[in-house]
A and B are shown apart, each in its own frame.
Chain A
Amino acid sequence: SQKIEQNSEALNIQEGKTATLTCNYTNYSPAYLQWYRQDPGRGPVFLLLIRENEKEKRKERLKVTFDTTLKQSLFHITASQPADSATYLCALDPSYNTDKLIFGTGTRLQVFP
């Protein structure tokens, strides 16, 4: 079956450390993968997009990798801050360049001082 898996358990880390979140997918061949942040009671907010021919993408303290062989994307937040506490969602196009965007269930990140 097709699925996108993100750790359902919350990730708790100390301020200043690097947070690493995982997104694994099965039986999809996406052309790209996106990451979003969602705060409680709010809509998701776009963070980064990485295409299949890109190994790594950076934006300020954020870094995303995309390994189409492992069918996995890693999302890193360096020098994490309590303000980074939120749920992070990965999303992909379920078949090459379709107009649909399918989301994982998200991982809740808690950064404590």
Chain B
Amino acid sequence: NAGVTQTPKFQVLKTGQSMTLQCAQDMNHEYMSWYRQDPGMGLRLIHYSVGAGITDQGEVPNGYNVSRSTTEDFPLRLLSAAPSQTSVYFCASSYGDRVATGELFFGEGSRLTVL
């Protein structure tokens, strides 16, 4: 099994550009989420989803959009990139539709730099 796959691994954007970070999991997990990780700030929850067609906001949702049209995919969209969005982004998934049921499986991260 591939687990949680994130693409791209590295990306450089100019301020104002848009892009989509892709996340796919092959474990039939209902729960998926996006985090960003910054030095000294730890992992911060951006958006999450408890199943196809359902999304909700985390701690830092501004500037990001998500959708969940299938169980497998949970893309994260930056509509107009800003330097403050320079970060490492992690996608994660979990069994069932409740994160309390167990562990999060993380992807390897996508490192984004906005100039």
Contacts and interface: CB of A to CB of B under 8 A. Distances in A.
Interface of A: 4, 8, 31-32, 34, 36, 41-46, 49, 89, 91, 93, 97, 99-106
Contact of B42 (A32, A45, A46, A104): A104
Q: Is the interface of A mostly helix, strand, loop or mixed?
A: loop
B108 interface: yes
Contacts of A4: 42
Interface in B49-99: 50, 56, 58-59, 90, 92, 97-99
B48 A32 contact: no
Nearest to B102: A49
A99 B100 CA distance: 7
7 contacts: A34-B103, A34-B104, A36-B104, A43-B90, A45-B106, A99-B56, A101-B99
Contact of B33 (A42, A45, A101): A101
B45 interface: yes
Nearest to A41: B109
Contacts of A43: 4, 90, 92, 106-109
